[in-house]
Every structure is written in C-alpha cells, then in structure tokens.
Amino acid sequence: MLKQIDYQGKLEEIAEKFQGRKTEVSKEVNKTVQQIVEDIQKSGDTALFNYAKKFDGYDVNTSNLLVTRMERETGLEQIEEDYFKILRRTKSQIEEFHKHQLGNSWNIFKENGVIMGQIARPLERVALYVPGGTAAYPSTVIMNAVPALLAGVKEIIMITPVKADGKVNPNILAAAEVCGIETIYKVGGAQGVAAVAYGTESIPKVDKIVGPGNIFVATAKKICYGVVDIDMIAGPSEVLVIADKTANPKYIAADLMAQAEHDKLASAILVTISEKLVQQVDEELNRQVQNLERREIIESSISNYGGAIVVKNIDEAFDVSNQLAPEHLEVLTSEPLVQLPKIKNAGSIFIGEYTPEPLGDYMSGSNHVLPTGGTAKFYSGLGVYNFIKYSTYSYYPKEVLADFKEDVETFAKSEGLTAHANSISVRFEGEEKER
C-alpha cells in the first residue's frame, strides 16, 4: 500500500510528487464550483435547492431549510448522557487552550499627550461549516464554535449538508446544543458556502465562513473569498510522520490510516531514515486495515496520495516536511521535543508516541480545523483570532501635530497629494504670522 517515493534530494519538486494528481482533480473541481457559485449568486434559493437535490438527494425548500426546535429535541432524545459528558469535556478542553488566544486590545500613552492603540472587536455574523458528506463531524462543531464564542461573535450560524431523509445527525445536534448554537441550516457543499457568502432569500449573508470540508467546500471558500472572509483552506486531511529507527511501526501505520480514512483525497506520508521501517509500516498497514470499516477509502488515499520517503538524516526529514507543510505533523523520534525548533511549516504538531494525531482531532485542546495542501506555509489553524478584527486609534494634541506639520506636508507633496498637505496646514492658518 505504501509506495516509496524517490525525490532525489530535490526539495522544490517534492510537493509536485505528492500533489501532482491532486492539482488535476482541483482544476476539474474548480470549473464545477465556479458554476455553482455563479448560479447561487444569480438565482439564490432556487439554485441552492436544486443543487441540494442534485448532490445530496435532499428535497429542500424554504420551510425545511432551518432545523426546528422540534427536530432538535427529537434528535437530542437519542443521545446518551455519557456522550453529552464527552462533548462537554471536549468543549472544556478546547476552551482551556483557546482562552490563551484572547486579549489583543492595547493602548499607549506617550509623555507628549499622544494616545494610540488597537481595539479588538468580534465579527458580527459568521457561518460555521460542519462536514456531513461521508461522515458526520460533531467534533468540528465544537472546534468551530468555541473560538467564535470566546471571541464574542454575536450571531453564529451553522451549515451542514443532509441526505435524502433531511435529518441532521443527532450527534451534530448534541454538539451544537452543548455549544449553544441554535441556528442550523441544512445545506452544505459548494452551494452551502456560496449561499452564506452571497446570501439568498432564506439564508443571511455572513461576514466570514470558517470550517473544514471536502475539495468542493474548500474550493468554494477560495472562490468566495473577498465577498466574505474565510479562515483558511481546510480541505482533505493530511498527516506526515517523521520517524527514526526508534519509532514503533504499529503506531505509524495506525496514525497514517487515521487521516487516510477521511477522504479518498486525503494524504498520509512517512518520512524516515530507515528503509527497514518503511517495510515494517507497510506490513502493519496491510494487517491493521483488515479490521477497519473505511478500508476502501484508506487504501485508495494511501496508494494515490500517500507514500514513504527515505532520507539520509533526520535534518533532511524536517526539510522535506517543511517543504510539504502538512496539516498534521507527528514527530516519532528519540528526541521529539528537542527537535521542535526545526519545524517551520505545519498546521498542528504531535510530539512523541503517546500524542497520536486523533487525540488532537477530539480532545487534546488544540484546534482540528487546520490548513491543508501546503497552505500551512502561510495559514494558521483556527483560533479566536479568526473571529476578531482590529481597529487602530490615535489621538494627537495640537502642539504635537504642529511638530509633525512640515514633515507630513512635504511627504504629502512628494506624492502629489496637496489636499493631504492642506488638511494639515489649514489647521494652522493665520498662526504662521503670529509666531
């Protein structure tokens, strides 16, 4: 299952080796999604309902788009108290971690009387995307909602796709209940993203869309960016494991498959200094996969978008990983903590053999909505900061402005902007003579 990739030490080509086929898929998807977004923009609900029927088999209309209180209560009746306990424990773990991301307002009082600062304000209305295609993700409800709630977002709406029966998975309803999210629209995919980006007759336009999804969702977010803000491109899941000879092949295989089971477009990559380990991991993959339910998806994603790279030394392993900028990076070496500073690009890092990535998917405390496709080079994972915008402010007394008068006027004139210069000089009109 695990093919070996020889990249011949050419770091720049490494992403192409893994992402080449994905890029082809993306081009096709781009066309489809562009059309969906245009249709929603032009025809609103009519297009939205047509696409929900076409892709999800759901006969949606204005009266059953929003989850009702009755639907919520019926769904919640199916949930055991033990499951609620796990959801509440998860929420508190996520809160504890994300609280550290609060507090970005500040001000300075200078001795000359100038006061300046930055005011952090929550966004007004955001949409949380919760995937619901091949699996239901109650964990994603919590990962999306907690930072938005901590930031103080006033209006939080959730969108998630439903199948022909029109029912939102009860576990998703339970996670929403634990987070106090009551507005849930039964739409998803590219059409759901476009609906909240542009607004339709039944769905309000939002300021920002956050949350992960498959390639259609991720592409729609990319296309709608600018009309709304987005958190990042959080597409099909990825894991990269850096392992030395001390790593346990059983754990590596298990962790590669954990991400591979998300999507046929998911990728799972091993980078190691040991050829023998690659073989052992492959044997483990073939053994463990027998007992897993999503075997077909796992085998497909690992064969097509996964693989193993054997490097000369551990530093080279980190170079490869930094080049690929994986969503999740596991470091399974004899000194994983010491090696932390070598990591430049990764959405979330899992250190040592008892911090398996799935712990972070659910309960470690860090967020699982993370950048994919190499975008961890410039995007961060979801956090409170995604729901906050900043306004700067300044107060200058007259005598300090007078001190800057000539410099600002000269600067403005150097840009040919005499009205800018005038805005300063007019405040001192008539005073030149007096001085």
Ligand X SMILES: N[C@H](CO)Cc1c[nH]c[nH+]1
CB atoms within 10 A of CB 178: 18
Please compute, for residue 296, the number of CA atoms within 13 A of its CA located in the half-sphere on the CB side.
1
CA distance 175 to 143: 10
Q: Which does 249 bind (CB under 5 to 8 A by kind): ligand X, ligand NAD, Zn ion, none?
A: none
What's the Rg (C-alpha) of the chain? 26
Catalytic residue among 177, 327, 353, 357: 327
Closest CB to ligand NAD among residues 141, 253: 141
386: left (phi over 0), alpha (psi -120 to 50) or beta: alpha
Q: How far is the CB of 317 from ligand NAD (least distance, A)?
A: 23
Strand partners, 330: 241, 350
Pick the piece of the chain touching ligand X (CB under 6 A) from 35-43, 132-140, 312-320, 391-399. Answer: 132-140
**Residue 182, SS3 per DSSP:** coil
327 binds ligand X (CB under 6 A): yes
What does the block give as tokens for 363?
Answer: 């309960």
Closest CB to ligand X among residues 137, 379: 137
- CA dihedral angle for residue 309, residue 311, residue 315, residue 317, rounded to 10 degrees: 0
The residues that touch ligand NAD, with contacts defined as CB under 6 A, are 32, 55-56, 131-135, 137, 140, 161, 188-190, 212-214, 216-217, 234-237, 262-263, 266, 327, 368-370, 372
137 binds ligand X (CB under 6 A): yes
Closest CB to ligand NAD among residues 9, 57: 57
Strand partners, 389: 121
- 107 annotated to bind ligand: no
244 binds Zn ion (CB under 5 A): no
- 361 annotated to bind ligand: yes
Q: Which does 55 bind (CB under 5 to 8 A by kind): ligand X, Zn ion, ligand NAD, none?
A: ligand NAD
Q: Are 181 and 145 in contact (CB under 8 A)?
A: yes
Which residue, 190, 106, 89, is CA-closest to 142?
89
Q: Which does 139 bind (CB under 5 to 8 A by kind): ligand X, ligand NAD, Zn ion, none?
A: ligand X
β pairing state of 267-272 and 307-310: parallel
- 191 annotated to bind ligand: yes
CA distance 210 to 218: 10
Is 330 a known active-site residue? Answer: no
Is 328 a known active-site residue? Answer: yes
Closest CB to Zn ion among residues 72, 368: 368
330 binds ligand X (CB under 6 A): no
Catalytic residue among 71, 284, 328, 368: 328
Q: How far is the CB of 372 from ligand X (least distance, A)?
A: 7
CA distance 45 to 224: 17
Question: Residue of minimal CB distance from ligand NAD?
Answer: 189
DSSP-assigned letters across all residues of 67-87: PPHHHHHHHHHT--HHHHHHH
What does the block give as tokens for 336?
Answer: 């994983």
Q: Are 344 and 329 in contact (CB under 8 A)?
A: no
231 binds Zn ion (CB under 5 A): no
237 binds ligand X (CB under 6 A): yes
26 binds ligand X (CB under 6 A): no
Q: Which positions touch ligand X (CB under 6 A)?
A: 137, 139-140, 237, 259, 327, 361, 368, 370
- Active-site positions read 327-328
Q: Which residues are annotated as a binding site for Zn(2+)?
A: 259, 262, 361, 420
